[in-house]
Structure 1
Amino acid sequence: MARSRKSQISLDATPYYHCISRCVRRAFLCGFDPLTQISYEHRRQWVEDRLLWLGEIFAIDICAYAVMTNHVHVVLHVNLRQSEQWSMEEVITRWHRLYKGVPLSHRYLNGDRFSPAEEKILMTLVEQWRETLTSISRFMAVLNEGIARRANQEDQCTGRFWEGRFKSQALLDEKALMACMAYVDLNPVRANIAATPETSDHTSIQKRILSIQNNRQQPSELMPFIGHIKQEMPEGIPFPFKDYLELVDWTGRAMREDKPGFIDNQQPPILTRLDISEAQWHRLTQRFEKQFKCFAGQKSSFERIKDCFNLNRMPPNLLAG
C-alpha cells in the first residue's frame, strides 16, 4: 500500500528529500514527441524557471534538479531556520507572490492600525502561512499546477498533465544526499541526450558550472556548497564544490558502457570520506529510484530516525552501516 505523503516527510528525521513528478502516461509533454512529431522542448524552460522562482519564495533550498522530457527530478532542503527568522512582513510579502492574501494582510503592508482582535487573527494566519512555506507538498503542488495550466492553455485542452502523486524519498544521510544529487545531475547523460554534465540543459549541474565560469560564484538560486562543516557556517551542502564536480564527472565517465576501463584508479576524495566502495557507488547512482523506495541511506541512519516516521520494520535495500 502506498504511504501518504505526510507519512513520508519528517523534518525531525532529515531536511533533505528527492521528489519526482512524471507526466501522465509518461508522455513527452515536455520534449519532442516522436509520434506526433511535435516539439514541446520549450516547456522544460517553463519548469526550470518556475522551480527556481519558487525557491526564492519558499523556505526550501534547491540542491539539484533535472528537467527531462517527461519527468522532473528535484532534491530539496527544507530550511526551517530561515523561516523562523522571517518577520511578519517577510512572510506576508512572500505569500502575496503566490496568492492574493486577505484584506488584513494588505492593510498590514499599507501600515494601517489594527485592533487587538484583528492583530491576533493576522498573527495566527501568518504563522499558518509560515508553516505552509516550508511544505514540500505545497511546493510541488504549486510547481506542477502552474505548468499544467500553462500547457493546457497552449494545447487548448483540459485534463491532467502530471500524474496525481509525486514520488518522495527521504535522504537520511550524507551518502544518500551525494548519491542522489549525482544521480539527478547525470540524468540527461544516462538518457543519452547529453554527452557531458556541462552540456546537460535544464539541470542544476549545468547552472552551477555556467555560474562559476561567468561570475566565479555559485548561483544564488541553488543551495551552495560550503565545504567541510565548521562552527558558525552558513546553511549549505557540506562538501567542496570542486570535489562534487570531480565526483559527477568521474561517475558519468564510469557509467558509459562504450568506454570500459576509462575510470582512473584514483577515486575522488569524496568517496573516501564517505567510506563508500566503487561498486556500491555505481549501483547507487545508476538505479537510485529502484534501489530505494521512500527512504534512502544507511541502516544505522534509519534506526536513528525511524520513530519520526512511526515505523518499526526496516525498509528494503538500505545500505549497510
Structure 2
Amino acid sequence: MSRRPRVKLDKPISYYHVMTRTVQQEFYLGDDYVPGFKQVMLDVFREAASVFYVNILAWVIMDNHYHLCLEVKKPPRDPEDLRRRFERLQEINVNKRRWQPELAHACYKRFTDVSEFMKTVNFRTATAFNRARETRGHLWGARFNSKIIGDEMGLLKVMCYIEHNPVKAGLCRKSSAYPWCSAGHLKHQLDRGKAIDFPPINFLKYMPRKRRARNYLQLVDELAGKLHSGPSNPEPCVPSYDLPITDAELEEWRKEFAFKAPEDWSNQAFGSEAFQRQIALQEKAKTQKVSKVRGEAVKRRRCDPDDQGL
C-alpha cells in the first residue's frame, strides 16, 4: 500500500503541528539512554530553524516523542539570503559544498518545505543518538505526523496542547515547570531577565511586545490547571488578567484535548469544518494524481519489452 500523500499549503505563511515517535515508542530520549540528549535535540531544532524559513512557535520533548508547532514561510526569493542560509547549512554539515547561483531554486524549494525540515531534524538527531551510543539503526519509528493549522485560535490551541504534554503525563502541574518544553524555556529566560520577542498570536497581538511571553505563560499554566486537574483537586492559579476564553470555549477545548483532536492524525487539518473539508479535498486530489502517475508508469513498464526481459 502506498503511503499517504502529504498536503502542504502554498501560502506566504503556513502553520503546522508535527510529531515524531521513537521506534516502538521506547524511551530513547530519556537520560537513561543518552544523558543530556534532549539538549542535543533542542540544539538541532535551533540549527535547522536557522537554515530553513521556519519559526518554532512551541515545542516539547518527551522521553519517546516530540511535538513542534511550526510557522513555515515562503518569502520573496532573495539570492543573497539563500546564499547565507546555504553557507549556514555547510557550517553544520560534514560534507562541505560551495555556493553556486544555480543552486538558488533548489535551495528555496528545500528551505520552505516542512518535510525537508523534518527530514533534516530527524536525520541529525538520529545520527547524534547513534554516535553517542556507538550504535547503528533507526531512532524514529514511522513517518512523522503532520496537521495543517487553519486559524489563529487553532494555532493557540495546538500550542497549548503541546505545552500540556508533560502535565498530562503527570510530570508536573504547570507546563512552565517542565524544562523541556517551550513554556519552561520561556520561564527560564524571563526569570533571567532576557527580552523575548514572542509572536503576536491571537489575543496576544493586542498586548505590548514585552508582555506577550509572560501572558502566554500565564495562559498556558492556567489552562493546564483548568483542563487537566481533577475536579476534586483543582490547580490553584491567581491570574494577573482575565482569561481571554469564555466558559463555553473552555469546555470546547476540554473536549478537544480529551479526544486528542489536535493530534488526530487521520485528518491532516486542524480548524473549522470548512477548512478540514478543504484540506481533505486537496488530499483526495493529490492521491488521485499520484495513483494516475503510478498507473501510467506500470503500463509503460508492461509495454516495454526491455522491462520484461525480452
Normalised by the length of structure 2, the TM-score is 0.76
Give the residue type in structure 2 aligned to 1:176. Answer: G
Match of 1:145 in 2: 123
Query: What residue in structure 2 maps to residue 48 of structure 1?
Result: 42
5 Å-filtered alignment, 1:1-321, equals 3-5=4-6, 8-12=7-11, 15-31=14-30, 38-81=32-75, 84=78, 87-99=81-93, 100=95, 102-103=97-98, 105=99, 122-218=100-196, 224-225=199-200, 227-228=204-205, 240-254=212-226, 255-257=228-230, 259-260=232-233, 268-272=242-246, 277-286=249-258, 287=260, 288-290=262-264, 293-302=267-276, 309=283
The alignment-based identity, stated in percent, is: 21
8 Å contact kept, 1:91–1:130: no
Deviations 1:64-112 (A, max 9, x none): 0001001010011112227658535324323323444544x2xxxxxxx
Question: Does the C-alpha gap of structure 1 residues 59 and 291 become closer, same or farther in structure 2, counting only changes over 3 Å?
Answer: closer
Q: For 2:77 and 2:164, locate their aligned partners in 1 and report how far apart those are by CA, in whole Å.
A: 31
Unaligned runs of 5+ in 2: 287-310
With 257-266 and 155-164 compared, the bigger mean Cα shift is at: 257-266
- Say which is worse superposed, 256-265 or 45-54, in terms of deviation: 256-265
> Structure 1 CA distance, aligned partners of 2:103 and 2:248?
46
In 1: Cα distance, 2:242 partner to 2:161 partner: 16
Q: Deviations over 1:40-75 (max 9, x none)?
A: 352111111111221122110000000100101001
Counterparts of 1:296 and 1:42, CA distance in 2: 33
Q: Secondary structure at the match of 2:56?
A: strand
Q: Is the 8 A contact 1:62 1:75 kept in 2?
A: yes
Q: Which runs of 5+ in 1 are unaligned?
A: 33-37, 106-121, 231-235, 313-321
Moved more, 44-53 or 280-289: 280-289
Number of residue equivalences: 277
8 A Cα contact 1:57 1:97, kept in partner: no
Structure 1 residues 215 and 84 mapped into 2: Cα distance closer, same or farther (>3 Å)?
farther
Computed over aligned residues only, the root mean square deviation of the Cα atoms, in angstroms, reads 3.4
Residue identity matched to 2:86:
I
Equivalent in the alignment of 1:108: none
Comparing both structures, which one devotes a greater share of its residues to helix? 2
Task: Work out the CA distance in 1 between the residues paired with 2:49 and 2:192.
Answer: 22
- For residues 161-186 of structure 1, the C-alpha deviation after alignment (integer angstroms, 9 at most, x for no partner) is 10140000111112211111001011
Q: Choose 62-71 or 196-205, whichever is displaced more.
A: 196-205
